[in-house]
Amino acid sequence: MQVIEQASVMRQTVQALRCAGKRIGFVPTMGALHEGHLQLLRASIKENDVTICSIFVNPTQFNNPEDFRLYPRTLQDDTKLLQSVGCDYLFAPEVSEIYPKQTLLRFSFGELEEVMEGAQRPGHFNGVATILSKFFHMVQPHKAYFGQKDLQQVAVVRQLVRGLSFDLELVCHPTVREENGLAMSSRNRRLTAEQRQLATSLYKALQLAGSQLKSKPLASIKEEVATYLQGVEQVQLEYFEIADPETLQTLHDLSQVEEAALCIAAFVGEVRLIDNILVNLKEV
């Protein structure tokens, strides 16, 4: 596996690969890799001639400086994992390489960034769109791979790809979970053993809500989720929403939709976690 730190080298490498007729798969990450990332990488390796993984803790998408400071950085271990699955290139630039000057460009995603993560983390999706626009230009992938755990981010990236006419296919893979149901996340590394167990309550809350979609009013389901999590030590609910999977807008009536996205965010101790499940209403 070749490690590249300069954007200019990345561009030159990609240009040569494309001239040779190679199809490129891209898995953008912030490192602290886990099995969820590895599944995306395996999919890319299977479906493309070359796979490029980026590791870059992007400062512009953090609205909380402390969260940025504490975000796990495990480049040495990540490099070994990438080698073990057969990744071809690791793009690991420094912040100064990507942001030599302050970025003044601003993205707007309308209603999509006014709910859930957009409402709770002002500027977050602008930072996501900025870094991915840069990386899509530098890496020029044919396919880019993301996980369903970041469902709203996937919706934003889908809009970004359409809006700026990026010539790539966006691939979304299901959330990968621990045996106890906890959604795999780089932030899980900050949880104590006790907190990792308590954090399973997020998935349990989603399952509880999903099982009641056809039998109870949506407002009642939201109240039950809030009540359930109030009884879990160290867990503080930030939001729980029943939303349209494409627009992420809150649903008030399920009669006109075939699928619902149940989305949750909560603090477990000082660590903020998100999760979601998609429910096929025909199967409930």
Distance CA 219, CA 62 (A): 31
Q: Is 33 annotated as a binding residue?
A: yes
Q: In DSSP terms, which residues pair with 260 in a beta bridge?
A: 279
Residue 28's φ and ψ, nearest 5 degrees, are -80, 130
Give φ, ψ of 147 to 5 degrees.
-100, 150
Answer yes or no: is 36 a known binding residue: yes
124: tokens are 């977050």
Concerning whether 37 is annotated as a catalytic residue, the answer is: yes
25 annotated binding-site participant = no
153 known member of a binding site: yes
67 marked as binding residue? no
For 191-224, give one letter per residue: b (16+ CB within 10 A) or e: beeebbebbbbbbebbeebbebbeeeebeebbeb
34 is in an annotated binding site: yes
- CA–CA dist 248, 259 (Å, integer): 12
3-class secondary-structure state, position 269: coil
CB 242 within 8 A of CB 206: no
Q: Is 61 annotated as a binding residue?
A: yes
Identify the active-site residue in 37, 137, 173, 252: 37
CA angle 264, 269, 271 (to 5 degrees): 60
147 is in an annotated binding site: yes
Query: Nearest to residue 24, comparing CAs of 164, 162, 161, 145?
Result: 145
- What type of residue sits at position 173? H
Taking the C-alpha atoms of residue 114 and residue 241, their distance in angstroms, rounded to an integer, is: 13
Consult the annotation and say whether 184 binds a ligand: yes
Is 167 annotated to bind a ligand? Reply is: no
> Do 156 and 122 contact (CB within 8 A), yes or no?
no
User: Binding site annotation covers 159?
Assistant: no
Identify the CA nearest to 178 among candidates 200, 148, 149, 211. 200
User: Which amino acid is it at 174?
Assistant: P
Q: Locate tokens 């240009």: which residue?
A: 15
List active site positions.
37
Bind-site residues for ATP: 30-37, 147-150, 176, 184-187
Bind-site residues: 30-37, 61, 147-150, 153, 176, 184-187
